[in-house]
Structure 1
Amino acid sequence: MKIGLIGKKLGMTQVYTDKGEALPVTVIQVAGNQVVQVKTVEKDGYSAVQLGFGDKKEKSVNKPEGGHFKKAGASPKYVLKEYRVDGEAPAAGTVFGPEVFEVGDVVDVIGTTKGKGFQGVVKRYGFAGQPMSHGSMMHRRTGSIGCRLTPGRVWKNQKMPGHTGTTNRTTQNLQIVQSRTEEGVILVRGCVPGHNNSYVFVRPAIKKAAAKN
């Protein structure tokens, strides 16, 4: 049975294959995932487990949260995430790590993209911009956003300047290059959303692709 894991993005590096090929990889710390709650079909209508990640001081949780963790025999955690399971679910308090995934497995990684603040349309959407010479004063401006005739208004979802980043993104079909149990990390080929030390969610790929050589 394979379930998802909660992890922390540590950064990117590269590893070499037996053929001498350099592969860009993202290092994700996943050691210490603990089952905080088990949901069953009889009681909850579906089968799932709630995982916790990142140890938290007991004084930093309120009484309802403390009771939730104590009931499962787990230490307080910073991040909680629920994953569906097929078949028998692991017992509360069970701890998972890199051993959940094997080399060659294909996963999806969900994270929050880096925040860029308020940006114009050139940086936000890749607009080409307007003339850079002949007296033009509209170099990086949006340009026309509508017409006073038909339809006589600005369409919804018109691309305009605004806040950029800090949105949930899923990178699909990434291959597990290494699973280092002793170090508590997995190495995923390619990049994943988020800045270093941000929390990410790793799950078995939904649209599973063939493993890369």
Structure 2
Amino acid sequence: LARDDVTRENSKFVEEVLESRYGRPDPASGQYSPLKVAPIEPVTEWTLGSRRTGIIARKIGIYPMWLKNGKKILTTLLHVCDNHVIKYIPPEEWTPLIQPSRKTVIPIKKKGCLLVGADSTNPQNFTKQYCGLFAEAGVMPKRLLSRFMVTPNAALQPGTPLSAAHYRPGDVVDIRAKTMDRGFQGVMKRWKFKGMPATHGVTKTHRRPGNIGSGGGKARVMPGTKMPGHMGNRYRIFRGVQ
């Protein structure tokens, strides 16, 4: 179903075959594929060391809400768009990209890798090799892919749909996303510096960082010194969000 052998005459026929096999990309059309095999692991109760999979969502905006006691809070609206489990790699077969250091003494609990995809799209826009990644799950090719490390008792079968019902109200989650791009900014906006005084002999240095030297015979700027530079457009993790 790649674009290599698709012409203008049979492109409509290919679209009809894709719709009959997978359904429409819109999750409201009921295109969720049923699971054909049993779950990978037996269903067990949640334990303190269990780690479930996450989902891929798109930020919509900020919306105010009020609690029962009248307190106003700001909430972030997220759109969970057509999430499916694509593949599960057990701990015995998973090889991390970054190997642990030899000095590591604390034993690390082995976790499996769960590949989750979101936002179904047209297979004609991708190569045959990329579309083959989704053959086991039986779903349309996804525009976004993400890996989640899970414990073996939280493994899911490829093809399992994931929605907002994956979480319950009051759950505490960790969010990873790319921050808004602010461009090149000074220290007052980038690092919240107070700045120099406005008067009393200060000239043209009201928004400058000041001295950045470390003194003595070091004769260099220490790594990590807060200075002007590019702000935003970086992946950050916000932990403990309810």
Asked if TM exceeds 0.5, the reply is yes
Note the 1:46-195 alignment, pairs <5 A: 46-86=111-151, 87=153, 89-133=155-199, 134=201, 136-146=203-213, 149-175=216-242
Shift of 1:135: 5.8
- Mean Cα deviation higher: 77-86 or 40-49: 40-49
Shift of 1:97: 0.3
- Total equivalences in the alignment: 175
Shift of 1:155: 1.6
> Do the aligned partners of 1:54 and 1:78 also contact (CA within 8 Å) in 2?
yes
- CA deviations on 1:4-63 (whole Å, 9 max, x unpaired) are 111111111022333333221111112421011111245447523210011222222222
Larger Rg: 2
> Do the aligned partners of 2:53 and 2:148 also contact (CA within 8 Å) in 1?
yes
Distance 1:88 1:106, change over 3 A: closer
What SS is found at the alignment partner of 1:72?
coil
Distance 1:147 1:106, change over 3 A: closer
Normalising to structure 2: TM-score of the pair? 0.65
Distance 1:150 1:88, change over 3 A: closer
- CA deviations on 1:113-159 (whole Å, 9 max, x unpaired) are 11110111111112222232346121212222216752222222222
Structure 2: which 5+ runs fail to align? 1-45, 47-51, 96-110
> Do the aligned partners of 1:56 and 1:76 also contact (CA within 8 Å) in 2?
yes
More strand by share: 1
> Do the aligned partners of 1:31 and 1:96 also contact (CA within 8 Å) in 2?
no
Whose relative contact order is higher, 1 or 2, with alpha carbons under 8 Å and at least 6 apart? 1
What SS is found at the alignment partner of 1:169?
strand
AA matched with 1:48: C
RMSD: 2.1
Normalising to structure 1: TM-score of the pair? 0.73
